[in-house]
Chains A and B, each alone.
Chain A
Amino acid sequence: MALYSEKVMDHFRNPRNVGVIEDANGIGEVGNAKCGDIMKMYLKIENDIVQDVKFETFGCGSAIASSSMATELIKGQPLSEVRKLTNKAVAEALDGLPAYKMHCSVLAEEAIQSALEDYERRKQSGE
């Protein structure tokens, strides 16, 4: 039996939306190298819609796949939808993760929420 679902392996082998957005207006980074997983999300939000999203991840196969899937789930979505994104939705979209890898999907949710918070902070301070 394979460790991961076909979908996890697909997103791990061919991650979507990898990289950096130079003029991102919301950036979130979660996790730490000590635990072995760090995710960084870059959002470009216009008119309350995620126009573009990119990620960088240091981590295992499921961390990379979770980041990739999370970006797919929010790209082009209104912020009202993005705020509702849960780790469960990420894991389900990947056809499930092994129990001890669920924290990777949690990290993906947190990275996106952290980038959203950064966006809202910048908006409030009028950047």
Chain B
Amino acid sequence: MIYADQAATTRMSEAAINTMVSVMKENYGNPSSLYSFGQRAKEILEKAREDIAEVIGASPEEILFTSGGSESDNQAILSAAELGRRNGKTHIISSAFEHHAVLHTLEKLKKSGFDITLLDVHENGIVSPEEVRNAIREDTCLVTIMYANNEIGTIQPISEIGMICRERNVLFHTDAVQAVGHIPLNVRTDQVDMLSASAHKFHGPKGVGFLYARKGIRLSSLIEGGAQEKGKRAGTENVPGIAAMAAALKEAADHLEERAAKVSALRDRLIRGLGQIPHCALNGDAVRRLPGNVNFCFEGIEGESLLLLLDDKGIEASSGSACTSGSLDPSHVLLAIGRVHDVAHGSLRLSIGEELTEEEADYMIQFVQEVVAYLRGFSPVWRDLCAGKTRFIL
């Protein structure tokens, strides 16, 4: 099997697995317990907090453990909204291609009276800092822009946006779920106020993540109960998961540059190879993109059938086609960069990691080429395009 869906989830690293198992076996105490066995679990928890803080340039007390990216996004946005409402500020700026954890939270706020501006992400899939600046109003309480897009991998000008928000004294949150552990980032130099991350995207376990919130930002809690996480997230901490997340992140950070270089080269090899297919287009900026992200639209075919046939060849990938989402609309990300429905249905995302070899990349290129040609062979859409009855879009 060639696993090319690393943006969906990743394999846990050996270090993460070993840490998790050892904490489960030997340090299963409750960090809130007074006796030394509980306090040992507390030490593990606080060490993980320190390690994670160090990787992203934060202080340990600025890290809040959560169940993952979605919870972190919800908590960051709802906290900023709560602070804004108290000061009569009910305007939030975001972008059209955020993760649904952000977009659906914003929709909920809209229903309770917030005004939401979703910025254009342009054809290259990148938000313009100038447009952020122009969108900020007197009543803006939050700007939330993702660090890197989960579908098309485009990296946003986060430090530039951070600088603008700091100048204008507006809170800035970034959903960095796809970026943490994959590209260098630092919350201080990026001038980010809040940042969401999820362990399973960087070889940690599923169901655990963190929210960075700059000191002084008052978070609202989503879960009420005990006093864990300074009262901002009740419930006994997932100590094995958190310790494993820290181990995974440390390892990812230690190897970040070499892995990014290797994976980017494979990405570019795939982009060159797949770009040979007639009437296709790379989605998102070719350079300002995550090391492991390849995303194409192929005209005249539909994505789900492409995925099923690639699966038969042992290639696991994903698509922004409607048929893979259970709705009639294709991916909101592809629509946001201006792909029309007709071609957005024919998209393929390969998200690769450092385990991929050049041979496997070439194998994928070969089979994607073959499968696209096969499906076009009996596509009435392709026939009409080739016969000149309809015009090629790509």
Q: Given B312, B321, B381, which contacts A13 in the complex, CB threshold below 8 Å?
A: B312
- A57 lies within 8 A of B342 (CB): no
- B380 lies within 8 A of A19 (CB): no
- B341 lies within 8 A of A36 (CB): yes
- A59 lies within 8 A of B305 (CB): yes
A40 contacts B by Cβ under 8 Å:
yes
Q: A19-B378, A29-B380, A58-B379 in contact; A36/B330 too (CB < 8 A)?
A: yes
Complex CA gap A100/B325 in Å reads 10
- A60 lies within 8 A of B378 (CB): no
The tally of CB-CB contacts under 8 A between chains A and B is: 67
- Chain B window 205-240, contacts with chain A (Cβ cutoff 8 Å), 1 for yes, 0 for no: 000000000000000000000000000000000000
B304 contacts A by Cβ under 8 Å:
yes
- A57 lies within 8 A of B379 (CB): yes
- B380 lies within 8 A of A60 (CB): no
Tier of interface size on chain A: 20 to 34
| A70: B residues at CB distance < 8 A | none
| A39: B residues at CB distance < 8 A | 380
Smallest CB gap from B379: residue in A: A58
- B383 lies within 8 A of A60 (CB): no
- A33 lies within 8 A of B308 (CB): no
Q: A57-B378, A60-B321 in contact; A33/B342 too (CB < 8 A)?
A: yes
B300 contacts A by Cβ under 8 Å:
yes
Smallest CB gap from A13: residue in B: B312
- A57 lies within 8 A of B380 (CB): yes
* Chain A proximity of B322: nearest CB distance (Å): 5
* Chain A proximity of B356: nearest CB distance (Å): 25
A31-88: which have CB < 8 Å to B?
Answer: 33-40, 55-61, 63-64
* Chain B proximity of A70: nearest CB distance (Å): 14
- B305 lies within 8 A of A12 (CB): yes
- A36 lies within 8 A of B323 (CB): yes
Complex CA gap A58/B303 in Å reads 10
A89 contacts B by Cβ under 8 Å:
no
A15 contacts B by Cβ under 8 Å:
yes
Q: A15-B378, A33-B381 in contact; A58/B302 too (CB < 8 A)?
A: yes
Smallest CB gap from A55: residue in B: B378
Complex CA gap A57/B345 in Å reads 14
B328 contacts A by Cβ under 8 Å:
yes
* Chain A proximity of B376: nearest CB distance (Å): 9
- Chain B window 307-339, contacts with chain A (Cβ cutoff 8 Å), 1 for yes, 0 for no: 011001000000001110010101000000000
A18 contacts B by Cβ under 8 Å:
yes
| A64: B residues at CB distance < 8 A | 305
- B342 lies within 8 A of A59 (CB): no
Q: A33-B342, A33-B345, A36-B323 in contact; A61/B381 too (CB < 8 A)?
A: no
- A60 lies within 8 A of B301 (CB): no
| A29: B residues at CB distance < 8 A | 380
* Chain B proximity of A106: nearest CB distance (Å): 13
Smallest CB gap from B324: residue in A: A60
A2-45: which have CB < 8 Å to B?
Answer: 9, 12-13, 15, 18-20, 29, 33-40
- B345 lies within 8 A of A38 (CB): no
Q: Given B300, B305, B312, B341, which contacts A60 in the complex, CB threshold below 8 Å?
A: B305
Q: Mind listing 5 A-B residue pairs with CB under 8 Å? A: A9-B308, A13-B309, A40-B380, A57-B380, A58-B379
Using a CB–CB cutoff of 8 Å, the interface residues on chain B facing chain A are 300-305, 308-309, 312, 321-323, 326, 328, 330, 341-342, 345, 378-383
Using a CB–CB cutoff of 8 Å, the interface residues on chain A facing chain B are 9, 12-13, 15, 18-20, 29, 33-40, 55-61, 63-64, 100-101
